[in-house]
Amino acid sequence: MTGFDFVYGVLLLGLVAAQIWLTIKVWRSGSYERSQKILQSKLIWLLPVVGAVLVFSLMPDEDDSMRRPKKELRG
């Protein structure tokens, strides 16, 4: 195995990891209906780089404060 093969493998692994992360982010989002989530997941996986960048750039920011209790409310 050459150095090029190692770098290529690491880049490919990074791409797959980014796509898995983005797919999970889409499915956890409350901004989309189920059918939209399916279509966006297909876009991420069928057009690996372009689809993932497109979906990520168009995703609305999730408000984390709605999902987590505030510090003063915790016990």
pLDDT one-digit tens code per residue, 45-72: 999 889 999 999 998 887 554 555 556 6
Work out whether the CA dihedral 45, 49, 16, 62 comes out positive or negative. Answer: negative
For residue 61, the model assigns a pLDDT of 81
Whether the predicted pLDDT of 12 surpasses 90: yes
Residue 33: what pLDDT?
94
Residues contacting residue 32 through CB under 8 Å, at least 6 positions apart: 26, 40
pTM of the model: 0.73
Q: What is the pLDDT of residues 14-48, one digit of tens each?
A: 999 999 999 999 999 998 999 999 999 999 999 98
Given this model, what pLDDT does residue 69 score? 56
The domain limits of the chain are: 24-58
